[in-house]
Amino acid sequence: MTSTQSNPIDPVTLTVIDNFLTSTCRDMGVTMMKTSYSPIFNESLDFSCVIFDPDGQMLAQAEFCPSQIGTVKFTVTWTLDELGLDGFEPGDVVVHDDPYRGSGHVPEHMMLKPVFYNGKIFAFVANVAHMSEPGAKTPGGLSGDATEVFQEGLLLPPVKIRSRGKDVPDIWKIILANHRTPKVTYGDFRAMLASLDLAEARIIELLDTYGEELVREASRQLMTISERRMRAEIAAIPNGVYSFEDAIEDDGIGTRDFPMRLRLSVRDDDIIADFTGSAPQAIGPVNAIYAVTASAVYNAFLHLTDPTIPRNEGCYRPFTIIAPPGTIVNCSFPAPVAGGNTETSPRITDMVFGALQQAIPDRVVASCGGTSSPFLFGGTDPRTGDLYAHFHFEGVGWGGRKGADGNDMVVTINGNCRNTPVEVFETRYPAFLIDSYRLLADSGGPGQWRGGLGGERVLTVQNEVTVSALLNRMKTDPWGVLGGDAGSRGGLWFRPDANSEWRTFVDAFGTRSPSKFSGITLESGNQVRIVMPGGGGYGSPADRDPALISQDIENGFVSIERAERDYGFQAGMGER
């Protein structure tokens, strides 16, 4: 190994320290999973855990939610800038959710705690978690027709929720008074605090074992190593300027599309992702703040490069992201942003793959279904009289890649959340009965390597409930690459009862958008059908192995009619 450092630390010690920091982040997550209240936390694991140095450089993270991991570096930097290192005392914890101060969107709450050692701040431990109820205009937030960030939840600038180890009651009171489900928020906040305490103790243990200087130096060297490795990976991509364009369909307010344009320059070991030319920001909540756009680009490259590179600040150094202010990829205050993080983010990541399909055809994937299908609901639990709220999301088909079909029904690339099991869902939220939850045949984009299947879920309302939605890919296609075809689009449907025809929410309720709206009240017996898009195909369908087509037919992944139409398949072709 070459190193410009005078005293490179031996690889064994570096590995041990890196593993220790990463496993600390992982254990923070386990603590949150085991103690939190909302299913979005403990079933879906929609949170992330990170460790930073006092300069705001990320030292380590655990693998939970990629969009949060990229965004949190902006959230932490902003917090440190705003409060200053002198603003922290031992035992302090700061809470923060303001997108115009670096948060991904309002539901995502960050908590940050300094780790003092020998009287000085050695590191910060932080977690970011999606609160199921942020106090927005409609239950669960992510209101699909919000027009200002103020409608998306209670905005919290970085404020201390705990000071010198003691709760700050006034802050707790303000937050709990503004969330519809204060008990759930309280339980989730306690889980976040416990996770920070654990991480603090673990880092002090590490410092006691190895000494402050060695750990600081090791962290520095790990970041240098990560940067060097990331640069070596980029250098292996042919130099050039690669472009791609996609669009976010409507914004819940108007009907026009919002094109996003990417010019990706690979120059030796640097990447410049330039979004100049993208649409002006939307009135509705599909805008990405700069941190979300940057995070989505990082996410693409972390997927394209060696997964053993230690995940720290060094990974991000080769990247320059240009996103003009006032656009859909870098919106200005006070535009609403909720869907930027769930919807626009995975689309930006996919655009990087689309742009690079000619440069590194063996490594890219086709578009995934590209929506988290946020479907929010809330009401009063008839069993207890308490208010409840839930952020429900869905998986999608993933794009085909060289050598394998796309995965069926997996959450989009900006997250890695688990679904809420039907049995947990109905126990927690008696508003709905889930009639079906299944894969959708023929939804995967045809290709040499087929796109993964999307699915559908049909729900029957059991008692009055208020719903909101912020879906996508109902008017635009999950595109294929290198000759592959698009996967099928998603959908959201309503009918008054099981014997009626399915209608769009525009037809049934006069919403401006079929996919984005808020605050619609449904009654007992009504049904909702959520359709999740499939993934795009990779390579020409004509090159698909007939044996695979036969298997698809046997498994019911592809119908005979579509096999004939899309692949020119004839019975007997795939038999061996």
Partner 1 sequence: MESLPEPSISLGIDTGGTFTDLVAFDAQSGQLATFKTPSVAAKPGQALFNAIQGSEVDVARIAELVHGTTVCTNALIERTGARVGFLTTRGHEDIPYIQRINRKTLYDLQWRKPKPLLQSRGDCLGIDERMGSAGQEILPIDPDDVAAQCAILRARGVEAVAICLLFSYVEPAHEQLVAEIVARELPGIPISISHEVAPIWREYERASTTIADTYLKPLMSTYVDSLTESLAEIEMRAPWTIMKSNGGAMKAAAAVANPIQTAQSGPAGGMIAAAALGKQAGEPNLLTLDMGGTSADVGLIIDGAQKHTTEYEIEWGVPAAIPLIDIKSIGAGGGSIAWIDAGGFLRVGPQSARALPGPACYGRGGTLPTVTDANVVMGRIDPGNFLGGRMTLDRDAAEAAIAPLAAQLDMSVLDLAAAITAIADENMAGAVKMISIERGHDPRRFTLFGFGGAGPLHACAVARALGIPKVLIPIFPGNASALGMLIAERRVDKVWTQAFRSTQVDETQVAQQFQIILDAALAELRAEGFTGDPSVEYSINMRYLGQNYEQEVPIALDGAIGMLETAYRTFEDHHAALYGYTIENEVIELVSFRVTVRGSRPPIRLSVEPDRSAPAQRPGREVFFRGHGFVSATVWDRYKLPLGSRIDGPAVIEEPGSTTLIEPDMWAEVLDDGQLLIWVAPETEGQA
* Of residues 213-252, those binding partner 1 (CB under 8 A): 214, 225-226, 228-229, 232
Interaction pattern, residues 9-28, with partner 1; x per rule: CB under 8 A: --xxxxxx--x---x---x-
Closer CB to partner 1, 26 or 512, in the complex: 26
Q: C-beta of 341: minimal distance to partner 1 in Å?
A: 16
In sequence order, the β-bridge partners of residue 172 are none
Q: C-beta of 156: minimal distance to partner 1 in Å?
A: 22
Q: Is 164 in the site for partner 1 (CB under 8 A)?
A: no
Six token digits for residue 483: 């000759």
Closer CB to partner 1, 27 or 245, in the complex: 27
Integer Cα distance of 143 and 343 in angstroms:
13
Interaction pattern, residues 354-393, with partner 1; x per rule: CB under 8 A: ---------xxx----------------------------
Nearest-5° Cα angle at 350, 345 to 356:
135
* Among 79-87, 158-166, 191-199, 563-571, the segment contacting partner 1 (CB under 8 A): 191-199
Question: Could you say which residues in the range 52-111 bind partner 1, by CB under 8 A?
Answer: 63, 66
Q: C-beta of 148: minimal distance to partner 1 in Å?
A: 31
Per-residue burial over 454-491, b = 16 or more CB atoms within 10 Å of its CB, e = otherwise:
bbbbbbbbbeebbbbbbbbbbbbbbbbbbebbbbbbbb
Q: C-beta of 288: minimal distance to partner 1 in Å?
A: 20
Closer CB to partner 1, 155 or 558, in the complex: 558
Integer Cα distance of 82 and 501 in angstroms:
55
Backbone conformation region of residue 570, classed left if phi is above 0, alpha if psi is from -120 to 50, else beta: beta
Q: Which of 422, 506, 548, 573 binds partner 1 (CB under 8 A)?
A: 422
Q: Which of 120, 173, 183, 256 binds partner 1 (CB under 8 A)?
A: 183
Q: Is 537 in the site for partner 1 (CB under 8 A)?
A: no
* Among 145-153, 257-265, 289-297, 400-408, the segment contacting partner 1 (CB under 8 A): 400-408
Q: Is 557 in the site for partner 1 (CB under 8 A)?
A: yes
- Is 193 within 8 Å of 93 (Cβ atoms)? yes
Q: C-beta of 19: minimal distance to partner 1 in Å?
A: 6
Q: Is 45 in the site for partner 1 (CB under 8 A)?
A: yes
Closer CB to partner 1, 142 or 225, in the complex: 225
Instruction: Kindly provide the residue ranges of all beta strands, DSSP E only, lying in 314-461, ordered along the sequence.
Output: 319-322, 375-380, 387-392, 432-439, 455-461
Instruction: Kindly provide the residue ranges of all beta strands, DSSP E only, lying in 301-359, ordered along the sequence.
Output: 319-322
In order, the DSSP letters of 423-456 are HHHHHH-TTEEEEEEEE-TT-SPPSSBPPPP-EE
Q: Is 216 exposed, middle or buried (0-12, 13-18, 19+ CB in 10 A)?
A: middle
Count of residues that interact with partner 1, criterion CB under 8 A: 87
Count of CB atoms within 10 A of residue 152's CB? Answer: 28
Question: Could you say which residues in the range 430-449 bind partner 1, by CB under 8 A?
Answer: 430, 433-439
Kindly give, in sequence order, each residue whose CB lies less than 8 Å from that of residue 284, ignoring residues fewer than 6 positions away.
144, 145, 146, 147, 250, 251, 252, 253, 254, 336, 339, 513, 516
Closer CB to partner 1, 252 or 406, in the complex: 406
